[in-house]
Structure 1
Amino acid sequence: MTSTSRRPGRAWIITPGLHGHRFAGAQKSGAAVAVVDIEDSVALPDKQTARAASEAFFALPDPPCTLGIRMNSLTTLDGVKDLIALAAYSARPDLIVVPKVESPRDIELVAATLDTDGYTPDIWALIESPRAFDTLPVIMRAPRLGGVVFGSADYAASVRCGLGWDALHYARSALINAASAANIPVVDAPTWELDDPGILRRDAERAKELGFYGKGCVHPRHVQVINDVFTPTTEEIAQARALVAAADASGGTVTTVNGQMRGTPFFDTARALIAEADRTA
């Protein structure tokens, strides 16, 4: 059963499993979720080395954020080996990112292998293929699914389109719609331009406007921009409180606020923003 109370924060950072010297930096970057990767960032000959080395990521003392791992696809031998290794880790991840999910069976298999009486990791699906989009409603109903992440690079490669916002707008919108129907959060793919904070901010603002819960990144200097964009501003919170006050004064009926007509959908959005702001204050 999906629980919104377990939703991690907005900025996610991913770091390669072979680079142990980066582990502490990723965890202390300010991201709410730090994910060690043993899939795309690791070449086939190095998979076992990364699999073994990544256990140390979860053994660091007093981690300041949620810790996760991106395993290999369960359609590969390395994915099966990952599950066996994860089950034997003495220090375990809070969150498992399962790549190339095209069926709820992937989520069920991870849960069946790893769940114990004292350990039930959050399981997130990486959606990154046209076939996955064909089965989104079924995937979203997987009982142990905690959320989904958009894999823009693999998706673009599969359909042979660009990585620009317009080229991937349909995929992002379809993913948001399916996840919202199931009441689970969606995290956007990283922005691959490392040295232009303006592009990153624009992408993060578009993702937030579209309905994404957060955004991934591959460099620590991207974290603060993502946090800034996804954290409600003082002005946004004040406007939401004014809107709720107007709703209460009108008895919940349609009213006018600052020259704009407002009704139930706007009231609900404002109350949700205030609840989140109060929860994170």
Structure 2
Amino acid sequence: MLSVPGIRERFMDKAEHVPADALLFDLEDSVADRDKAAARALVARRLPELPKHGRLLYVRPNGLDTGLLEQDLDAVVGPALDGVHLPKVHGPEELRAADHYLTFLERVRGLEPGRIRIIAWIESAEGLTRVEETCRAVPRLAAVSLGAEDYTASMGIQRTREARELEYPRARLAAAAAAAGIGAMDGPESDYRDTELFTAQARHARALGFRGKYCIHPDQVALANREFAPQPAEVEQARRVVEAYRAGERAGLGAVGLDGAMVDRPVYLRAVALLERAAG
């Protein structure tokens, strides 16, 4: 997901050619208070004009506590919008409020109920301690994201290059998302010039169960696509695992050996899931 400041029309034009799976037009942190109304109007105008090319179009509105969420949603909800990336979600209450607003707007604008999806930003210590509740709060929730800058600020700790301070929140968020049957997206790397750091963090996030990463610069998108896509060697190994396990099943075996390692049902199911992601 590539974030584009909602006040920068030139950046919107450039984003049309970036191979992201989703474009996110930001009305929150990247827009100064004095420019909120102008950004809202610009995004509302540009959304219906943008060619999707198979991508999803999301908007990050301002949080419920700002008093701007209702205006933001009223401006952008329509046939072109696929979802909102809701910031400052400290618990299920913010999600349910946004869900009520979206349900009303879908009804009055003739959209299919539940069509507008939500990705929730978990950005505080409170939000993390309630993430399991949040992940099951509303049916339209598609994924959760970790907002590392706000999270570490709420904890009174520093961000580091090694990001050891994010080990626990990343693992808990990914597990909560998987248990609820939704996705998990890793937050951004603010140093967009450091491709080595971005690649390492994306690779680590994928190993924890994240399915994608939030990008703040177009150059990060190709790196994220590479790291989160199943690699050819992984796909080939998964294919061999599936074939070996199914051959064992036909022979009445619950587990088989492959390359000196045991392949049982959990290993088989993991391989099937990887092949499905590679195909889809």
Structure 1 length as normaliser, TM-score? 0.90
What is the CA–CA distance in structure 1 between the aligned matches of 2:111 and 2:75, rounded to whole Å? Answer: 18
Structure 1 residue 61 displacement after superposition? 4.1
| Contact 1:55 1:92 (8 Å CA) reproduced | no
- Secondary structure of the 2:145 match is strand
Shift in Å, 1:265 = 1.2
Which of 236, 247, 250 matches 2:234? 236
CA distances 1:100-127 after superposition (whole Å, capped 9, x unpaired): 0122232222222223242421111111
SS of aligned partner of 2:15: helix
| 90-99 or 169-178, which deviates more | 90-99
CA RMSD of aligned residues (A): 1.6
| Residue 124 (structure 1) aligned with residue 119 (structure 2) | yes
- Tell me, yes or no, if structure 1 residue 169 matches structure 2 residue 158: no
Provide the C-alpha distance between the structure 1 equivalents of 2:239 and 2:218, rounded to a whole number of angstroms.
33
Counterpart of 1:112 (choices 100, 108, 118) is 100
| Residue 221, structure 1, aligned to residue 219, structure 2 | yes
* 1:160-207 C-alpha deviation (Å, 9 max, x unpaired): 223232111111011011111101101000112211211111111001
Does structure 2 conserve the Cα–Cα contact (< 8 Å) formed by 1:42 and 1:50? yes
What is the 5 A alignment of 1:1-281? 12-64=1-53, 65-87=55-77, 92-115=80-103, 116=106, 117-119=110-112, 120-143=115-138, 144-164=140-160, 165-251=163-249, 253-279=254-280
Query: Cα offset for 1:78?
Result: 1.8
| CA–CA distance in structure 1, aligned partners of residues 254 and 46 of structure 2 | 52
The answer to whether the Cα contact below 8 Å between 2:4 and 2:24 also exists between their aligned partners in 1 is: yes
Larger CA deviation: 245-254 vs 177-186: 245-254
Which has the higher relative contact order, 1 or 2, with Cα contacts under 8 A spaced 6 or more apart? 1
Q: Secondary structure at the match of 2:165?
A: coil
Structure 2: runs of 5 or more not aligned? none
TM-superposed deviation, 1:257: 1.3
Structure 2 SS opposite 1:167: helix
Give the partner amino acid of 2:63. S
Distance in 1 (CA, whole Å) between partners of 2:102 and 2:28 is: 19
Structure 1 residues 227-255: Cα deviation after superposition (integer angstroms, max 9, x where no partner): 01111122111100000111012216222
Contact 1:55–1:91 (CA<8 Å) still a contact in 2? no
5+ long unaligned stretches in structure 1: 1-11
1:39 is paired with a residue whose SS is coil
C-alpha distance in structure 1 between counterparts of 2:41 and 2:168, whole Å = 38
Return the alpha-carbon distance in structure 1 between the equivalents of residues 136 and 272 of structure 2: 27
Shift of 1:277: 1.7
Could you say if the C-alpha distance between residues 101 and 61 of structure 1 is closer, same or farther in structure 2, counting changes exceeding 3 Å?
closer
Cα separation, 1, equivalents of 2:175 and 2:93: 21
In the alignment, the residues of structure 2 paired with residue 109 and residue 198 of structure 1 have an alpha-carbon distance, to the nearest angstrom, of 39
Shift of 1:91: 5.8
Asked if the contact 2:79/2:111 (under 8 Å) is kept, the reply is: no
Instruction: State how far apart, in whole Å, the 2-side matches of 1:108 and 1:79 are.
Output: 13
Q: Is the 8 A contact 2:199 2:227 kept in 1?
A: yes
Q: Secondary structure at the match of 1:268?
A: helix
> Following the alignment from structure 1 to structure 2, what is the Cα–Cα distance between the partners of residues 248 and 92?
44
